[in-house]
């Protein structure tokens, strides 16, 4: 197996959270728990500054030859007024498209020590355990044509899906559901959008070949409401790129902080793992960001790219144990008594050492 991974710290808080994850990664490598080699490259705003391109060729070549990629965050205020192809976020979209990362997984769960951090009542979210399966390389983010009118007084985007794109993400959702509770909620807007009508037809066609999995459909507006009202009704949520982006950020707040949740973007040959939060330029460089989502993203990398669910479980236990000590970064603290980014990284490393001996 290719044991090379690529680290893309990116912009804003990305380098800070990557540094804390590397602390744990280095320990696991030094302890010979896992055989991994890693190298770094640029993406996003830092890549524009260093290479004149948010997704430079050097990063593409390294990404192609890597078995997995850990990514921090992309986005800067400095470049936010750039033309679309020169925005930092274009680098992330290009990475997803060129590696055909059509599967985006966003698990939504809560640590017991954080139940009182959620804005919802404990009895609503205490047993939350769902995963959002989001199609990632089509929909309105990639549809053509797009742009502004000649007078810049109107703009347009194209929402587009093909049968094959919908059917392959549905097949993956069913495969995942078979390992869980066997329930899929497919989210669309079929009462209005032709793309959603095609989506619903394709989902039903694929599901008809898998009678052991229960599939029901829900409109996006109702799904957004139900996710807050009764989140435990969901097991696997299957949806398109735009709707998945919105629902997963909404769902993250059920868990107390967007700084807690990891994600995986997968193709048949590659995996990119990153926190679901953004680059948070307002707190970048201040040693305030929560690195836990980055560490848990690394855990997803171990599970999905290296078949080491044991290491993913270990990192989740490490995080849980530290939180049980009442150690929280600022996003989770209700007082000025919080730990910094680097202090949280040190606490996680100390706990990892206790669980994984050299």
pLDDT of 1? 66
Ranges of the chain whose pLDDT falls below 50: none
Buried b (16+ CB within 10 A) or exposed e, 7-29: bbbbbbbbbbbbbbbbbbbeebe
Contacts of 229 (CB under 8 A, 6+ apart): none
Token representation of residue 66: 């890597």
Half-sphere exposure of 328 (CA within 13 A, CB side): 19
pLDDT of 358? 63
Domains parsed from the chain with CATH numbers: 1-101+262-358 (3.40.718.10), 119-255 (3.40.718.10)
Q: Which of 174, 291, 306, 285 has the alpha carbon at shortest distance from 238?
A: 174
Percentage helix, strand, coil, to 5, in the chain?
A: 45, 15, 35
Q: 63: burial class by Cβ within 10 Å (0-12, 13-18, 19+)?
A: buried
Reported residue count of the chain is 358
pLDDT of 252? 82
**What is the dihedral sign for C-alpha 285, 257, 315, 65?**
negative
DSSP 3-state assignment of 110?
Answer: coil
DSSP H helices, the chain, are: 14-30, 45-51, 57-64, 88-98, 122-125, 163-177, 194-207, 220-229, 241-252, 292-306, 309-324, 341-355
Task: Give the other-Cβ count within 10 Å of 128's Cβ.
Answer: 19
Residues labelled as active-site residues: 141, 189, 221, 245, 249
Read off the pTM: 0.91
Contacts of 301 (CB under 8 A, 6+ apart): 5, 68, 70, 264, 271, 273
pLDDT of 173? 98
Are 254 and 110 within 8 A, CB to CB? yes
Q: How far apart are CA 342 and CA 321, in angstroms?
A: 17
DSSP 3-state assignment of 175?
Answer: helix
């Amino acid at each position: 197996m290719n044991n090379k991974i690529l680290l893309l710290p990116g912009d804003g808080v990305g380098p800070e959270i990557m540094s804390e994850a590397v602390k744990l990664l280095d320990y696991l490598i030094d302890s010979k728990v896992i055989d991994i080699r890693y190298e770094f490259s640029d993406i996003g705003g830092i890549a524009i500054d260093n290479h004149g391109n948010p997704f430079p060729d050097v990063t593409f070549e390294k990404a192609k030859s890597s078995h997995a990629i850990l990514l921090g965050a992309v986005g800067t205020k400095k470049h936010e007024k750039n033309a679309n192809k020169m925005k930092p976020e274009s680098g992330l979209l290009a990475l997803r498209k060129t590696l055909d990362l059509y599967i985006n997984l966003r698990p939504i769960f809560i640590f017991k020590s954080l139940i009182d951090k959620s804005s919802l009542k404990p009895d609503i979210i205490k047993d939350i355990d769902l995963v959002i399966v989001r199609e990632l390389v089509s929909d309105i983010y990639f549809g053509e044509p797009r742009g502004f009118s000649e007078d810049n007084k109107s703009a347009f985007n194209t929402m587009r899906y093909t049968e094959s794109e919908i059917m392959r993400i549905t097949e993956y959702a069913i495969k995942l559901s078979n390992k869980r509770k066997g329930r899929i909620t497919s989210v669309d807007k079929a009462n209005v959008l032709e793309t959603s009508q095609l989506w619903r037809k394709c989902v039903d066609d694929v599901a008809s070949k898998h009678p052991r999995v229960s599939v029901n459909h829900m409109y996006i507006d109702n799904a957004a409401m139900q996710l807050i009202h009764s989140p435990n009704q969901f097991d696997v949520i299957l949806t398109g790129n735009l709707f998945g982006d919105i629902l997963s950020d909404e769902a993250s707040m059920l868990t107390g902080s967007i700084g807690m949740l990891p994600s995986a973007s997968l193709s048949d040959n590659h995996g990119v793992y990153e926190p679901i939060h953004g680059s948070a330029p307002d707190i970048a460089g201040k040693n305030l960001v929560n690195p836990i989502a980055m560490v848990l993203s690394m855990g997803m990398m171990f599970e999905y790219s290296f078949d080491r669910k044991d290491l993913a479980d270990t990192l989740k236990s490490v995080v849980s144990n530290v939180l049980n000590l009442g150690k929280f970064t600022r996003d989770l603290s209700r007082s000025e008594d919080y730990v910094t980014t680097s202090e949280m990284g040190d606490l996680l490393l100390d706990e990892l050492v206790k669980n994984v001996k050299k």
